[in-house]
Amino acid sequence: MAAAQQLSNVYPLGAVLDGRGRLRLGGCDALELAAEFGTPAYVVSEDDLRARARAFKAAFAAHTDDFLVHFASKAFGCTAVARVMAEEGLGCDVASGGELTMALRAGFDPAHIELHGNAKTEDELRYAMDAGVGVIVVDNLHEVDALLRLLDEHGAVAPQRVQLRIAPGVSPDTHPSISTGGPNTKFGLNLQDAPRALEALQASADVEVEGLHFHIGSQILELGPFRDALERVTAALGTDFPVWNLGGGLGVTYGPEQAAPPSIEDYAAAKVAMVRELCGPGKRIVDEPGRALVANSTVTLYTVQSVKRNVQTWVGVDGGMSDNLRPMLYGAHYEVEVADRFGGDTPCIVTGKHCESGDVLIRDALLDDPRPGDVLVTPATGAYGFSMANTYNGQPRPPVVFVSNGDARLVVRRESYEDLFSRDV
């Protein structure tokens, strides 16, 4: 039997093609996983998750002793994934009451949780205070007023730590829908309004303004925009803050045609160096990797239901925009292969099962003679697949399966038809 073949870094660490040419993930046969757990299914390499969490911590630790790495929970809002991050010593960012609940259930120390959001409700702010959330990231002038009033009503013993989110006016080279720090964005305070918010917060005995926060976007493949943003923020607001939260945004590899993102090591080194140069020594750096922690840990398995050879070859699978909305929202590109016949040359359009012509997962696939019953694999689906999953057309959401050392375990069961109607009254 031929030796196992290592796969590219689009796939989870340790993913191989075995001697029969079948995909193995965490030591498990992909076709056997599809048979046991059904499709569509998110299959997550637990070892990959842990390795990336450790890599981020090690990369920052190589350059500074005062840093925090937080998991941006929106990227993969799954309790089991969050629990891995908590076990690896990361903090957690949440942007809603639901994400806060997940973080607490996953075992994060509330003191290591940050609450974000551009339109937090007063109920969410009260929930964060009651839970003892470490940091509330203040987004706008209206929230300043609401937070100060609620803190006065809450009567906390210690001041609430806050960071002020700034929109520095920098737009990195990424899709407009995931650019969050430009001159016209819904996130954060612009540099003109920020001083007024700072003055009001710093005047309150109920608040400790520990630092500034900015997040300029996601899937960023160059390091320059991070420095541009920090230069603008420090020029406008000074450097007299002990904590600098630089957001996240490091891109990941989705396919061989894409430019490679900076390494985790280069990313951390650049961020530490620019804070030291522009803000001075003795600053705490907070970073919030989202997709870079989880995207390549996961693949999605599908089963081919139909093949239509019209002007082009259309391959219909049993999932689609209900389990991976990113191609429809952002034109995101993914790789795809037949799980036991990699390397085909048949041009195909891989489409979902939903009642939308735009429900297309991959428009330029090359597959090995696809036919009904084949299992297809799409790598790099750990970021925003599960989090954005939906029930359009009454499609139950897929399960999440962890694999490691040849063992597979279900961490989120497949939604049932009964689940779809469990909220009916």
* Annotation marks residue 355 as catalytic: yes
d(Cα 179, Cα 138) in Å, to the nearest integer? Answer: 19
The CA-atom distances, in angstroms, between 424 and each of 413, 419, 421 are: 21, 10, 5
Q: Is the dihedral of CA 352, 357, 361, 365 positive or negative?
A: positive
Give the residue among 133, 139, 45 at the shortest CA–CA distance from 92: 133
The CA-atom distances, in angstroms, between 423 and each of 417, 418, 419, 420 are: 12, 10, 8, 8
Give the residue among 298, 347, 349 at the shortest CA–CA distance from 324: 298
d(Cα 283, Cα 239) in Å, to the nearest integer? Answer: 10
| Helix axes of 264-279 and 46-61: crossing angle, nearest 10 degrees | 30
d(Cα 374, Cα 225) in Å, to the nearest integer? Answer: 43
CA dihedral 313, 315, 321, 324 (to 10 degrees): -110
Question: Of 92, 279, 348, 355, which one is the catalytic site residue?
Answer: 355
Catalytic residues: 355
